[in-house]
Structures are given as structure tokens and as C-alpha cells.
Amino acid sequence: MRSIRSFTDDEAGSSPVEFVLVGVLLTVLTLAVLQFGLAVYVRNVVHDAAVEGAFHAALADTSLADGTERTAVIVSRAVGAEYASDIAAREVDAAAGRQVEITVRAALPLLGLLGIPRTMEVSARAPVETLE
């Protein structure tokens, strides 16, 4: 009975176990924060590229294809070509007049830059410029 009690009361070796447990927890938390930051960065880059493409397509001497191409180039240079595979452009009638809308569907990064395809969708609009 006495040997069991001395074994359970002995705290020798508990420091390395606590270090490993806390270290794993802090490492996972740090990686989760970094992944969240990467996801927000990718979303902002894709949105800004859509805005730039919409404003470019809305110019009087450009087409919707020009805006789509510009969006694809910006996204490809910033985060990779796989994020620029599904880009659509269209003209819409809004209360303020005709507008160009660029929509980008891409993967939201869940592990590094890997993610489920088409889980993030961003759109941007710009008023159509005329020569009148």
C-alpha cells in the first residue's frame, strides 16, 4: 500500500509532459491564427482584383473580356493561377445606371493554400463609362 501511495504522490517527470501539452496547444493556436490571416489575405486579394477588373471593363474602350483577363492576371500574380480559374463578367442594370459586375469563385484556403473549390465568391461592380 505504501509503495502505491509514494508512486502517485511523486511528481517527477511531470514538467516535460506539461511542456509537451502546452507546447502542442500553443503551436496549434499559432498555426490557426496564421491560417486565418492567410485566408483573409487571399479573400482581400481576390476582391481587390475583382474591383480592378470591373473598373477596367467599365472603361469606354474596353470589353468585359478585358476586365476578366485583368482580374485573372492580378489574382494569378498574387496568389496563384488556381484561384483565377472561375471568373465571370456581365453588365447589369442598376438604379444608378448600367454597371459591370465581375464575380470570382475560388477556393477558400483551409490548409496552407489548399481548400475546397468554389467555396469563396466575391463580386465587384463599376459604373459603365460612355463617350456621351
Q: What is the C-alpha separation between 87 and 18, in angstroms, rounded?
A: 50
> Which of 4-8, 12-16, 65-69, 80-84 has the least mean pLDDT?
4-8
Whether this model's pTM surpasses 0.75: yes
pLDDT class of 130 with cuts at 50, 70, 90: confident
Report pLDDT digits (tens) over 55-85: 999 998 999 999 999 999 999 999 999 999 9
Range 96-104 average pLDDT? 94
Helix axes 64-78 and 14-57, enclosed angle (nearest 10) = 160
